Structure 1
Amino acid sequence: HHLRREGHFVCESTVEYVRPGWAQNLRGEWVAILNTDKFPQTMRVETCSYGGKRCEYLPPCYKSSCVQRYSYVRLLCVDPYHPTLKPVVDVFQIPAACSCFVEDFTYY
């Protein structure tokens, strides 16, 4: 269902659904992701449209910025240096949301 009603987000983002061919695991190794018509691995990726920019609609007294948030997904993959080994499930970090971060908020 569609959650967005009239109004705006304080940090704009772009959502894509991707089926990666290659990805870097948490150890920094590039691996081939198994992605076929019979075994699709589609993931939702949300990236900040203006990462680092001040959040919209907040008073200037707030020190804010739009920051990229991440989540972890498990994908079936193969080691490109050892393609004869069985596929394994590995963990990957993906962009998941764009959030407004407010620094050192103090009540006066």
Structure 2
Amino acid sequence: DNVISEEILRPSQFINSAPIPKSPFFEAYDVDVNASILGDGSFSVCRRCIEKSTGKEFAVKVISRKVDSSREVALLRLCQSHPNIVRMHQVFYDEVF
């Protein structure tokens, strides 16, 4: 059962609600919450996002604060030169979600 996709970035969460609170991530990126989820796991969900300053498309992985994500971030940093590992563009620790 996936805990994160039920609580993070759901389209209904933003319909007829206040704007998204100030967030470093949402200041830099747009996320189409109506688009399909790229993937999900027990404590994370991946969605398509667009960098506002460049228009470049990325995938954002949102990880629940219920788990410690520092190990995953550290492992991705170690593997950045591997041709079969996705490139990590930026890391945000955000209190919004």
For Structure 1 versus Structure 2, the TM-score category normalised by the shorter chain is under 0.3
Relative to its length, the structure with more helix (as a share) is 2
- The two structures have a TM-score, normalised by structure 1, of 0.26
Higher RCO (Cα < 8 Å, 6 or more apart): 1
Relative to its length, the structure with more strand (as a share) is 1
Considering only CA atoms, is the larger Rg found in Structure 1 or Structure 2? 1
